A and B are shown apart, each in its own frame.
Chain A
Amino acid sequence: MGVAKATSSSIAKPSAKAVRSWRVKRKLPLYLMLVPALIGLVLFHYYPMYGIVIAFQKYEPLLGFQKSPWVGFYQFELLFSQPDIWEMLRNTVTIAVGKITFGQVASLVFALLLHEVRIPWFKRTIQSLSYVLHFLSWVIFGGMLLDVLASQGIINNALAAIGLARLAFLTNASVFQPTMIFSEVWKEFGFGAVIFLAALTGIDPTLYEAAAVDGASRWKRMLHVTLPGIAPTIVLMVTLSLGGVLNAGFEQILVLYNPAVYATGDIIDTYVYRAGLLGLQFSLGAAVGLLKGIISLVLIALSYYLADRIANYRIF
């Protein structure tokens, strides 16, 4: 752009049309490179959206979109006529917010601590170890947790050894939510730290040198150089994660919950799984999905707006 402007002002003015064609020509390879991604986006994200219509139908898969009866907002009414809908909604939001908050904090703190480690091999080893769990599926990790958290499991044995009471992590309704939150954080904090670590490497080292020269301690340097340096990344991560406020972690809960903790562990997604998928009520599932999508969209837009207003930060 800048180049084009400079050229046009100094020598004889070429027509606007010529400038435009020159610009397009120059950037054509870039546009072309964008095409596959665009096709993918349209094909896999926009095209399937027509399926949303089934949220307003009593969809019979074997009849198809055309022949399934139209029921308007019946599926939404059905969802909200469930006597325990608010309980499930509350569980969903509590668990999700807990995971977002503790997850982001844990990842950030871990990244900051790791950043201060000076021995490269030690740093690399710890970092690799920290995100190994991320690559285990919940089916496997959950199976391990069932044993680890059992009443005679390793954690309870440790608690008993130091004189504490054994906790029924997975069968006591009042402990279940923290168990979900901390097991998720345990599994994901290392991977979450990767982005923060990447942002940390982007901070200009001369800033640290300057701060050191001015007599700033390591703590002060972290506070005044490191944190402001990655503030945009933190804002970005928090903003993006707000869209997940209704995602409490379906896989994890499906693997770990049981009738004893329905009161605090049953979330919208597990209900949809039981009623929608196992009961072949696809319309109900679609209605919930649509609702979750709309709420997430509103939340993301809102947090984007707030980040712009309060932190004066724009992602795009």
Chain B
Amino acid sequence: MKALKTKISRRAFLHGAALTTAGLAVAACTSATPTAAPTSAPKPAEPSATTAPTQAAEATTAPTEAVASSSADSMFPKGDPRRWLLDRPVPAPKKYDNLVITQNYDMNQGIKFNGNDTISDNVMSRYLKEEIGVYYEPKWACKGSETCPTAWSTAMAADDLPEFFTWLGGVNLGKLLDADRLEDITDIWETTASDLTKKNKEYPTGQIYVPITKGGRIYGIPFSNGGYAAHDSLLWVRQDWLDELGLKMPDTLDDLYNVAKAFKEKKQLTMGISAAGSEGMATWNSSLDPFFGAFGVMPTYWVKTGDGKLAYGSTLPGNTDALTVLANWFKEGLIEPEFVTKGAAKAAENLAGNKAGMYFAPSWSPGWPLPDSKKNDPKADWVSGRVPAGPTGQRGRAAFQVAGSTCAFLKGIDPIKIEAVINHLNWIYDMQAASVIGSHVKVEGIDYVEENGEVKAGIGTTAEFYEGGAGYPTWYYPAMEQMTDEKMNQLLKADPKTLNPYLLYTVNDPDGISTKTRAANSLKFQTMDDQIVNQFIGAPTATMTEAGARLEKIEREAYIKIITGGAPVSDWEKFVADWKSQGGDKITEEINAWWLSHQ
């Protein structure tokens, strides 16, 4: 169940991140931290510069020259993509001589290729070959949550394993580690990883090393959590409808109920809140996790209890309160009858089609799917709010985690390849640290294209390509990826003429995506106490593997039946008893043994 949760989360992320970038979400991704006045759009004084970066670029007579005058750009020759964003030189990366490393491509759904580009020869692979002399050759590829779990299973069954694994986690990681098929990288990591890399990867004390440590040695490079909370739910509400109906941003579950009811009735909607029910209670769009958080519980999460042990969140009291609320919402038609058949991606169509005025989703929502909502209803003005408080003032949201996923190397791999990957990572972190807006480096042709001095959105983001498309040994970005006040203010104060078109775009934010995302992120980071964290990040235990499918079934069935009125709330007790007797008690023992050994 934890395994499944992890799987869902990470796939969800890929999906989400991919879709985020469907629009011009480059800005959304790079901006994250509090700004003083998040709602007032920061903009330079010149009116012509406020509309779009392209016009701004035209306003300055020769845009490329204006760019060249910025100190950041003078360090790099014209045409070098790095000149866009770095404010100091980055040491040249260690270059290898046509090193080929096979890798599984767990591809981001949003990845698109230009023209004749293919998965094995594209703008990213050429960029990496040129810069570091490494080619990450696809061993096999999968895309999206439908194909990836199956692709992994068949690859494991056929022993069709790459030299370099990305997105390795859960049961796959456990099996590879048990079968001694992963290479011990401790020594190479110690000598090759830069201090900055070690710091960003929380080495050696980070909890993220737990799943890949065996006998005091590490067998992979873990993805870092960094408190990024990438997919934590926030409340998103149509502000224009609130204003129209004279309502306030809901703060409690009762407020939420009133607004949902008012929206459904006064706006003639088919639902009060958009909900996704086929993937469990916590997911990455139209999630229901804040309903449970309002009563201090989180289904499927292993949480610390009073006695210091871990307990399974679905079996703790408080679930019944949340289920009572949800059943009532369903009965009154505030949750649509189809929510059971909808996963997160499908439920997002509710927003694009403006069938709902409220939903729970991550801070990156302004990048996706909300632009679609606006496209279909230009008046749509979505704002973010904190997850609602329950009757006792309690709030809670499912903390998104990637801990448990990792990069690793197949046993017997040439050590120079491990070194090359770590050096690649060092280089990425160096560039991030030197970036003007704390962003990942942007690659021309991926993140943006420049035509006649105009900057336009590219085919995606470099990060997206790295994550699934080409050996990306780091996930997720450390805090530096987030736009800070300081950096934003620096940009705001600057003479627009000295900013290159890309930065102008970030500052002007013509679509409002960057500003809204920054506001949501700011809210998210100010309310980190709302997070309910899953403490179990190990590989699935023996009983989890054998009984997991069955237990997940009875859990989902019980929750959905109760919400849809097919069973009374009291049936939750029966579920808990079944869960415990059909393997849950044994799993709890195993989990606590793991917990004890990792304290």
What are the residues of chain B within 8 A of A278 when measuring CB–CB?
A: 4, 149, 153, 549
Instruction: Tell me if B179 is interfacial: C-beta within 8 Å of chain A.
Output: yes
Contact of A62 with B545 at beta-carbon distance under 8 Å, contacts A259-B277, A280-B172 already known: no
Query: Nearest Cβ distance between residue B213 and chain A, in whole angstroms?
Result: 19
B545 touches A274 (CB 8 A): no
Contacts of B196 in A (CB 8 A): none
- CA of A152 to CA of B336 in the docked complex: distance in angstroms? 10
Q: Are A277 and B153 in contact, with the CB atoms below 8 A?
A: yes
CB of B341 within 8 A of CB of A61, answer no
Contact A259:B278 (CB < 8 A) given known A61-B156, A271-B549, A280-B175:
yes
Let me know if B156 and A280 touch, CB within 8 A: yes
Q: Quick one: CB contact mask for B216-238 with A, threshold 8 Å, 1 for yes?
A: 00000000000000000000000
Contact with A along B138-180 (1 / 0, CB 8 A): 0000000010011001001111000000000001100110110
Which of A78, A258, A262, A263 meets B341, CB within 8 Å? Answer: A258
Q: Which residues of chain A are near B374, meaning CB under 8 Å?
A: none
B174 (CB) vs chain A CBs: closest residue: A280
| Chain A residue nearest to B578 in the complex (CB) | A83
CB under 8 Å from chain B, chain A span 250-264: 256, 258-260, 262-263
Residues in A neighbouring B159, C-beta threshold 8 A: 61-62, 64
**Which size class do A's interface residues fall under?**
20 to 34
Chain B CB within 8 A of A279 CB: yes
A168 proximity list for chain B (CB < 8 A) = 337
Residues of chain B lying within 8 A (CB to CB) of residue A173: 566
Distance between Cα atoms of A256 and B582 in the complex (Å): 27
Of B172, B181, B337, B549, which is within 8 A of A171 by CB?
B337
Q: Once the chains are docked, how many angstroms separate the CA of A146 from the CA of B278? A: 13
Majority-rule SS of A interface residues? loop
Tell me the bound Cα distance from A279 to B2 in angstroms: 12
Instruction: Return the contact of A151 from the options B171, B179, B337, B548 (Cβ within 8 A).
Output: B337
Query: What residues of A have a CB within 8 angstroms of the CB of B3 in the complex?
Result: 279
> Does B370 belong to the interface (CB within 8 Å)?
no
What is the CA–CA distance of A282 and B159 in the complex, to the nearest angstrom? 13
Q: Are A151 and B175 in contact, with the CB atoms below 8 A?
A: no
CB distance from A9 to the nearest CB of B (A): 60
Mask of B168-210 contacts with A, CB within 8 angstroms, 1/0: 0001100110110100000000000000000000000000000
Interface residue from B346, B549, B559 paired with A275 (Cβ < 8 Å): B549
Closest Cβ of chain A to B412, distance in Å, is 13
Q: Which of chain B's residues have a CB closer than 8 A to the CB of A63?
A: 179
Q: Is the CB of B336 within 8 A of A260?
A: no
Q: Nearest chain A CB to B417's CB is how many angstroms away?
A: 21
Q: Can you name the residue of chain A whose Cβ is closest to the Cβ of B7?
A: A278
Beta-carbon contact of A258 and B550 below 8 Å: no
In the assembled complex, the Cα of A168 lies from the Cα of B336 at a distance in Å of: 12
Task: Let me know if B251 is at the binding interface, CB within 8 A.
Answer: no
In residues 168-189 of chain A, which contact B (Cβ within 8 Å)?
168, 170-171, 173
Does B338 count as interface, using CB distance less than 8 angstroms? yes
A266 at the interface (CB under 8 A from B): yes
CB of B130, distance to nearest CB on chain A (Å): 36
Query: A71 → chain B, closest Cβ, in Å?
Result: 12
| B340 in contact (CB, < 8 A) | yes
A280 touches B337 (CB 8 A): no
A147-179 at interface with B (beta carbon < 8 Å): 150-152, 168, 170-171, 173
Give the distance to chain B from A268, nearest Cβ to Cβ, in Å: 12
Is B552 an interface position by the 8 A CB rule? Answer: yes
Q: Indicate if the CB atoms of B560 and A258 lie closer than 8 Å.
A: yes
Question: Does residue B592 face the partner (Cβ distance < 8 Å to A)?
Answer: no
A263 adjacent to B176 (CB under 8 Å): no
A303 at the interface (CB under 8 A from B): no
Closest A residue to B339 by beta carbon equals A171
The answer on a CB contact under 8 Å between A62 and B175 is: yes
A281 at the interface (CB under 8 A from B): yes
Residue B546 CB within 8 A of the other chain: yes
CB–CB A61/B278 < 8 A: no
* Complex contact A171–B582 (CB within 8 A): no
8 Å CB contact of B552 from A263, A274, A281: A274
- Residues 480-501 of chain B, each 1 if its beta carbon lies under 8 Å from chain A, else 0: 0000000000000000000000
CB contacts (< 8 Å) of A282 on chain B: these are 153, 157
Given the complex, which residues of A lie within 8 Å of B153, measured CB to CB?
Answer: 277-278, 280, 282
In Å, the complex CA distance between A83 and B557 comes to 14
Cβ A259 vs Cβ B157 within 8 A: no
Given contacts A62-B179, A259-B556, A260-B561, contact A277 B150 (CB under 8 A): yes
Q: Does B522 contact A (CB under 8 A)?
A: no
Q: A83-B582, A275-B549, A280-B153 are in contact. Are A62 and B337 (CB under 8 A)?
A: no
Q: Cβ of B598 < 8 Å from any Cβ of A?
A: no
User: B18 CB to closest chain A CB, in angstroms?
Assistant: 19
In chain A, residues 228-256, which have Cβ atoms closer than 8 Å to a Cβ of chain B? 256
Asked if B548 and A275 make an inter-chain contact with CB atoms under 8 angstroms apart, the answer reads: yes
B64 contacts chain A at the CB level, 8 A cutoff: no
Output the least CB separation between B402 and chain A (Å): 19
Most buried by A among B336, B340, B552, B564: B340
Query: B266 at interface (Cβ–Cβ under 8 A)?
Result: no
Residue contact A146 to B341, C-beta cutoff 8 Å: yes
CB-nearest residue of chain B to A150: B338
- 7 more CB-based (< 8 A) A-B contacts, given A259-B278, A279-B546: A62-B156, A62-B179, A62-B181, A139-B146, A259-B277, A259-B561, A274-B552
The 4 closest A-B pairs by CB, nearest first: A275-B549, A62-B179, A259-B556, A259-B560
Q: Can you name 23 A-B pairs with beta carbons within 8 Å?
A: A60-B178, A61-B159, A62-B156, A62-B175, A64-B159, A151-B336, A151-B338, A152-B270, A256-B341, A258-B560, A259-B277, A259-B340, A259-B553, A259-B556, A259-B557, A260-B340, A260-B557, A275-B548, A277-B149, A279-B171, A279-B545, A280-B156, A282-B157
